[in-house]
Amino acid sequence: MGSGGHFGDRLWAGLMTNFGSKLISVILAVVLWGIVLGSRNVEVTKEIPIEIVAPGDLVPANEIPDRVAFRLAGPKAFLRAILDRRENPIRVNLAGAKPGIVNYRFYSDNIRVPIGVKVLSINPATIPIRLEAVKKRDVPVRLEIRGVPPEGYKVVRSYVKPESVRIKGAESRIEGINEIVTTPIDITGLRYTIDREVVLDLGRYNVQVDGTMPRAFVEIEAISANYRIKNVDIRVLTPYKVKTDEKTVTVLVRADSKDLKLLDRSHVYAVVDLTGKPKGTYQEMIKISVPEGVGLVKVIPDRVKVTLY
């Protein structure tokens, strides 16, 4: 017998190996498929996000939905798998488009569904997209503050730095914006100065920030003391020998009872910085360092005469 005959025998033997179990597996798969397809159909809604891809010099100027909803009907098991499945955004590719209105239509093949599942409806089926030239503009930022500090504290100053931010967006949108308002900063109960990057409320403007965000500063200071720290040593920063007309100062602070109990006097100190100054006599302001949560109200005296020799 030739080699062809031996190959045929081996092929037939392979097919017949565990033929019974293979046949049963095929039958079970067919039966299960039939049960799934024959089960009662249900309806669900699957939402998929939309991603607009516009030419670099154009941008959408109108409100556009951020997702599209597909109404589906089919076996419950299939639909559950579709609902649990994470979808990539539908890319609305507008490359090559010109300024004006583009009507983009969605189709049933924008969503992957197995045999037995039907797409009943799409909402919205079409979205109008008005494309305009991109424009950039510097506008002032207004800091919004909510609440008040606790008793004994006040807001000394609040501002943003820099005072303006560059925004970019559709020309018709940019032209109507005279200022950008920050999301409110809640200072209720705060006893210290805030320094943080602002969060801008851009949702209603449909524009973006082009560049770095400004920072918000809210300076909060204590205005009345409820605790007196006596005999705080004065530290003079200098490489020379030092003579001062005052050795210690009295520090008036404000803090709640919990912080006062935890207050460590070693973390309260007075400093006169004369680093880099030559020998001589100076009348200098005293800087006080206090732990976070403790508000500095006053230092007595607030200046000291220092002689370097």
Q: Are residues 97 and 124 in the same domain?
A: yes
In the predicted model, what is the mean pLDDT of residues 219-247?
Answer: 90
Q: Last residue of some domain: 69, 101, 133? A: 133
Please check whether residue 1 lies inside any domain of the structure: no
Most distant pair of Cα atoms in the chain: their distance: 121
Give the residue from 269, 262, 264 showing the smallest Cα distance to 289. 269
What distance in Å separates the CA atoms of residue 299 and residue 291, rounded to the nearest whole number?
15
Give the residue from 124, 159, 120, 117 showing the smallest Cα distance to 142. 159
Q: Are residues 154 and 217 in the same domain?
A: yes
Band (pLDDT 50/70/90 cuts) for residue 27 is: low
Q: Are residues 240 and 279 in the same domain?
A: yes
Provide the domain count of the chain: 3
**pLDDT tens-digit profile of 48-71?**
999 999 888 899 998 899 999 999
Cα–Cα distance list, 102 to 106, 132, 174, 189 (Å): 13, 11, 21, 51
Q: Per-residue pLDDT for 77 more than 70?
A: yes
Cα–Cα distance list, 274 to 39, 290, 306 (Å): 87, 20, 9
Neighbours of 264 (CB within 10 A): 7
Q: Are residues 207 and 257 in the same domain?
A: no
Give residue 76's region: left, alpha or beta (phi > 0; psi -120 to 50).
alpha
Please check whether residue 45 lies inside any domain of the structure: yes
| pLDDT of amino acid 23 | 57
CA 132 from chain centre, in angstroms, equals 28
Q: Are residues 156 and 129 in the same domain?
A: no
Please check whether residue 90 lies inside any domain of the structure: yes
Please check whether residue 33 lies inside any domain of the structure: no
Is the CB of residue 51 less than 8 Å from the CB of residue 89? yes
In the predicted model, what is the mean pLDDT of residues 232-256?
Answer: 91
Q: Last residue of some domain: 84, 116, 133? A: 133
Q: Are residues 139 and 196 in the same domain?
A: yes
Q: Are residues 129 and 139 in the same domain?
A: no
Please check whether residue 158 lies inside any domain of the structure: yes
Using DSSP, state whether 55 is helix, strand or coil.
coil
The CATH number of the domain holding residue 242 is: 2.170.120.30
Q: Are residues 239 and 300 in the same domain?
A: yes
Please check whether residue 118 lies inside any domain of the structure: yes
Is the CB of residue 208 less than 8 Å from the CB of residue 142? no
Helix H or strand E segment including 44: strand 41-53
Please check whether residue 188 lies inside any domain of the structure: yes
Q: Last residue of some domain: 133, 158, 175? A: 133
Q: Are residues 188 and 202 in the same domain?
A: yes
Proportion of the chain above pLDDT 90, given as a percent? 53
**pLDDT tens-digit profile of 164-215?**
999 998 888 888 889 999 999 999 988 888 899 999 878 777 888 988 899 9
In the predicted model, what is the mean pLDDT of residues 107-135?
Answer: 93
What distance in Å separates the CA atoms of residue 290 and residue 269, rounded to the nearest whole number?
7
pTM of the full predicted structure?
A: 0.56
In the predicted model, what is the mean pLDDT of residues 99-104?
Answer: 94
The CATH number of the domain holding residue 164 is: 2.170.120.40
Q: Are residues 209 and 237 in the same domain?
A: no
Range of the domain at 70: 38-133
Is the CB of residue 165 less than 8 Å from the CB of residue 200? yes
Using DSSP, state whether 103 is helix, strand or coil.
strand
Please check whether residue 268 lies inside any domain of the structure: yes
Is the CB of residue 127 less than 8 Å from the CB of residue 51? no
Q: Are residues 250 and 167 in the same domain?
A: no
Is the CB of residue 105 less than 8 Å from the CB of residue 126? yes
| pLDDT of amino acid 154 | 87
